[in-house]
Structure 1
């Protein structure tokens, strides 16, 4: 049966890490991939994606929730709070209280609501406080999903995501392969057959400890330190972006084709 899938959230749902210049905002991601499968299953399916990178929970709720509910979704995905976890200071109890308020609104709409844990990656011991926040968040999401009748997509259960090849260099966003695998898992979770070709990766070869230490230093220098600086400066890439698919489209028409048409229309109306 066809319906309308509306995606709400931040970079996780926008598709950061799955770069593709043929898609709006230069990324594809699991939600676009899943929407394409919905369109293959039944051309009547519609899709909107309101997610924008960098957004904290309150911004996702304020900027996206009303619009999502106006669209009267059949299925709505909700992932928010990841950027709150990465904040320099955060009250995680408060985050989950506000998360629950948003979840209650979505479930009350009658839509099938999909919620997600965030993957607990193996990290440097220096980032143990971040890992504690992740575990707290994930336990809270599991509890709230069960309490309110949302459908949990528990990212942490798929241990193949321990493979670094499923993650981009920043270790925060999934790579193309990671997004593709997640799209398949979500299709499976809602009972929609898919044609996604997910390759089996050869075994990951353990690295010498010296190489591990070197990579950790590079990661802290090139990813963690710039992230902290951006957080302190308040400069965010998402502040200049618009949602990829703010109005429902039919993914059966081809999202790349729809993106070209939208870009051409924007060029016609531009001064």
Structure 2
């Protein structure tokens, strides 16, 4: 826990000047349109918050995440790059795509995840890991809630053993609102990514510009017909293509390159223009 205390102290002193984000579609930012036809997402938004805390042009940020990647692919392709960069901060959020696959063992996934955490902890100043979301109200993932919770407990234990910071997304209740999710119901919307970035900033101990748990405006109740219509649209536009890719052994990230080094100023300008 001494490492965690040191990390928080250094963060509060504004000494995080480099950040590498490692993971899959969640960290790539799918669902949150960004500059140059790419996605922004919570990690890019967190980078903006961190960049604002240090002198201009002294912050370096690389987003190494690629959608659709399994844990072993993340470890093979991204972790060595993050180790080479040796940044002040690394966020590692991976294993979710493994957990949602039938027949996978969360204990086995956690064992492999811990090895990646150990490698990153030796190279980076601070490592932050995250729990999965509570999928109680996510229809397509509700049946996996227990499996996700088991993996979450492993991630918490791994964080304790290695002195990592914990980004607790299971307890982020604002994400339970459907407006936090993209139309595909698997990825966050821009507002969902914003709330995760704010929660990550809180986990780092920095002042954030808004409360991630801020209440959503009330919505009128939806009728049965509207719900059924939306479900049919989702199944046609997203579920069927997703099943097709699985049957063909394809991944959404097969032809996607990681964003690599990202300019937080460009992200900030894009987000401000879009707001």
Specify if TM > 0.5.
yes
2:252 is the alignment partner of 1:237: yes
CA distance in 1, matches of 2:257, 2:45: 19
CA distance in 2, matches of 1:97, 1:217: 39
2:184 paired residue among 158, 166, 170: 170
Q: Which moved more, 1:190-199 or 1:129-138?
A: 190-199
Aligned to 1:101: 115
Determine helix, strand or coil for the equivalent of 1:130: helix
Aligned to 1:131: 145
Aligned to 1:41: 53
Determine helix, strand or coil for the equivalent of 1:183: helix
| Superposition pairs of residues 1-271 of structure 1, within 5 angstroms | 1-20=15-34, 22-23=35-36, 26-42=38-54, 43=56, 44-121=58-135, 122-124=137-139, 129-195=143-209, 201-245=216-260, 247=261, 251=264, 253-255=265-267
Determine helix, strand or coil for the equivalent of 2:216: coil
Q: Is the 1:165–1:177 contact (alpha carbons within 8 Å) kept by the matching residues of 2? A: yes
Q: Is the 1:53–1:238 contact (alpha carbons within 8 Å) kept by the matching residues of 2? A: yes
Structure 2 residues not aligned, in runs of 5+: 1-14, 271-275
CA separation of 1:203/1:257 partners in 2, compared to 1, >3 Å: closer, same or farther? closer
Tell me the matched-pair count. Answer: 252
CA distance in 2, matches of 1:128, 1:153: 21
Q: Which moved more, 1:101-110 or 1:49-58?
A: 101-110
Q: Is the 1:41–1:192 contact (alpha carbons within 8 Å) kept by the matching residues of 2? A: no
CA distance in 2, matches of 1:66, 1:177: 31
Determine helix, strand or coil for the equivalent of 2:128: strand
Higher relative contact order (CA 8 A, sep 6+): 1
| C-alpha displacement of 1:196 | 6.1
- Structure 2 length as normaliser, TM-score? 0.82
CA separation of 1:164/1:80 partners in 2, compared to 1, >3 Å: closer, same or farther? same
Q: Which moved more, 1:216-225 or 1:172-181?
A: 216-225
Determine helix, strand or coil for the equivalent of 1:115: strand
CA distance in 1, matches of 2:227, 2:269: 43
| C-alpha displacement of 1:114 | 0.7
| C-alpha displacement of 1:224 | 2.9
Deviations 1:136-179 (A, max 9, x none): 22222122212222111110111111100010012211100011
Structure 1 residues not aligned, in runs of 5+: 259-271
CA distance in 2, matches of 1:169, 1:208: 18
Q: Is the 1:36–1:254 contact (alpha carbons within 8 Å) kept by the matching residues of 2? A: no
CA distance in 2, matches of 1:17, 1:250: 19
CA separation of 1:200/1:6 partners in 2, compared to 1, >3 Å: closer, same or farther? same
CA separation of 1:141/1:67 partners in 2, compared to 1, >3 Å: closer, same or farther? same
